[in-house]
Homo-oligomer: A and B are copies of this chain.
Amino acid sequence: MSKTINLNADLGESFGAWSMGADEALLDIVASANIACGFHAGDPPVMRRTVRLARERGVGIGAHVAYPDLQGFGRRRMEMPPGELEAMVIYQIGALSGIAAAEGARVAHVKPHGALNNAACADLDLARTVCRAVAAVDRSLILLVPALSKLSEAGREAGLPVVEEIFADRAYLDDGQLAPRSRADALIHGAEASLAHVRRMLDEAALVSVSGRRLPIRAGSVCVHGDSPEAVATARRLREGLAELGYAIVPLTALAA
């Protein structure tokens, strides 16, 4: 069996007394966890618990790095000098690495979150700042980023191992960007439709846009969500469906090698 794919999800997004997400359910589904590092969500005890749960299941650990904005959940664009942002990304990777070390694990990948991800996907300078930060900590860290993004370009430029992801529940425009949520067809509803959407993109090695346009990519990972019981069920079905199609669910390290 030669077909491989990674599944990833955003996890560890609780904070203090506030819970978020179905972490345990998702950790039984995905192969890689993007763990919040305390800047947009997560706090040290939440991070440690999430890392432990991931390690126990053999799920790969990644730093979900973000702008410093708990109240806005890292979804607000913040303008700052490149040097400040670079240090903030390094800090977050380091913090999660410390937690991982304490649990006998290590950070395998980095994925930018929210507004930082959106901005760096579209702005090559910003993307380079993020990649400089990742490379400064450890050149073997895998960069997990949207296909066809400036982040992907900057990651390869920086010599980082790059894995490109696609979204199981989001439609794409002709230029490869995610269809904005304001469009009626932005979201793929239901497990079977999501599976068909992902299958086609994997089979054709291309993003397939809402108008049917094909943009060649080499997707290594599929991002799934767990923000509702339905989302978890969809993610679970996606995993089963991919297995039925002959895909082995693998860690990012198996893809970036």
Residue numbers of A with Cβ under 8 A of B are 14-20, 38, 41, 43-45, 47-48, 68-73, 75-80, 83-84, 87-88, 90-99, 101-102, 115, 133, 136-138
Contacts and interface: CB of A to CB of B under 8 A. Distances in A.
A166 B228 CA distance: 37
A38 to B, nearest CB: 7
A47 B76 CA distance: 20
Given A47-B91, A48-B90, A77-B78, 15 more contacts: A14-B18, A18-B19, A43-B71, A45-B83, A45-B87, A45-B88, A68-B71, A72-B78, A90-B102, A91-B99, A92-B98, A97-B97, A101-B136, A101-B137, A101-B138
A73 B38 CA distance: 16
A18 B72 CA distance: 10
A65 to B, nearest CB: 11
A76 B47 CA distance: 20
Contacts of A98: 90-95, 97-98, 137
Contacts of A68: 71
A105 to B, nearest CB: 12
Contacts of A72: 16, 78, 80, 84
